[in-house]
Amino acid sequence: MAVSRTSLGVGLLWIAPWWLGFMMFLAIPLGISFYISLSEYPLLQPPLFVGAANYSTLAVDPVFHKVLYNTLLFSAAFIPLSTAAAIALAILVNQRLPGQPFFRACIFAPTIVPLVATAVVWMRLFNPETGPINETMAAAGIDGPLWLASPRWAIPSLVFVSLWGVGSPMVIYLAGLQEIPETLYEAARLDGANSVGRFRHVTLPGLSPVILFNVVMAIINALQIFALPYILWDTDPGPERAGYFYTSYLFDNAFRFLKFGYASAMGWIQLLLILGLTAFVFAVSRRTVYYRGA
């Protein structure tokens, strides 16, 4: 049956809050951003259309290559480690042991601490001369590394600091664990499955939708990491730019060098990278994610 213009108008009016918000806060800004990425725009002057010049310059920009490498290396280390750590902690605090609420609160607490405070504390801990970590290692006869001041240890240090905040995904995994029916574990025990077998054949399939969600969120957060390295290295790129990351370079181009066209081009590449990795994860999930009742 054909829809009358009056009915269509009434329908569009009812969903106006959504499509108006979509146009004003997403579609139009995206269009403007893409146009700016094709322009030379120093902010104080009108944008000058230059076509794909910004993207061509990025292709040969050594700093861009360095920050992209640092960001991908950090993501490749942080995403699997944070996933494994959050699942392990969720399984531990899911056990019926004395003091269970206390331990859950302790693991979650770092996620509500402001990033600035977290960074300042870890800068003190990582101090190569007076930091408690190196002092403890020295007491054991081990020469501690320079941590944040070392090109070799800069990214591992950042990964370690970032893992301190796995309490948020841990809570989501904990909720997922409590949704797995106990009858599945009982059936696995009757079939002779040990703890490793129950984890592999019951826990992991039951948690797979939650793992998918947390991995996608970790990809988005890791590829956009900004505040923590920006504070840890005190706005400095770090030794041999080891502490310089994609969003930091984008921020500098936009607000320090006033190259908004160049920064917009970087933003679009970052968006496409996140979308591409997310699409890959969803493609893999078709074979690895189990949905009960599906």
The per-residue pLDDT for 294 is: 58
The per-residue pLDDT for 1 is: 47
Residue 36 lies in a domain: no
Q: Name the stretches of the chain with pLDDT < 70.
A: 1-4, 235, 293-294
- Classify 235 in phi/psi space as left (phi over 0), alpha (psi -120 to 50) or beta: left
Tokens 């995994």 sit on residue? 173
Write the pLDDT tens digit of every residue in 183-216: 999 999 998 989 899 999 999 999 999 999 999 9
The per-residue pLDDT for 101 is: 87
Residue 54 lies in a domain: no
Domain that holds residue 189: 62-288
CA 136 to chain centre: 31
Residue 5 lies in a domain: no
Terminal Cα distance for the chain, rounded: 33
DSSP-assigned beta bridge partners for residue 39: 49
Write the pLDDT tens digit of every residue in 31-75: 999 999 999 999 888 999 999 999 999 999 999 999 999 999 999
Residue 31 lies in a domain: no
Contact 178, 95 (CB under 8 A): no
The per-residue pLDDT for 44 is: 82
Contact 37, 253 (CB under 8 A): no
Task: Identify the DSSP state of 287.
Answer: H
The per-residue pLDDT for 71 is: 97
DSSP string, 201-235: IIIHHHHHHHHHHHHHHHHHHHHT--HHHHHHTTT
Residue 30 lies in a domain: no
pTM score > 0.85 for this model?
yes
Judged by DSSP in three states, 48 sits in: strand
Residues 6+ apart with CB under 8 A from 104: 93, 171, 174
The per-residue pLDDT for 67 is: 96
Q: Look up the CATH number of the domain holding residue 209.
A: 1.10.3720.10
Residue 18 lies in a domain: no
Residue 33 lies in a domain: no
The per-residue pLDDT for 291 is: 84
The per-residue pLDDT for 235 is: 67
Domain count of the fold of the chain:
1
Residue 109 lies in a domain: yes
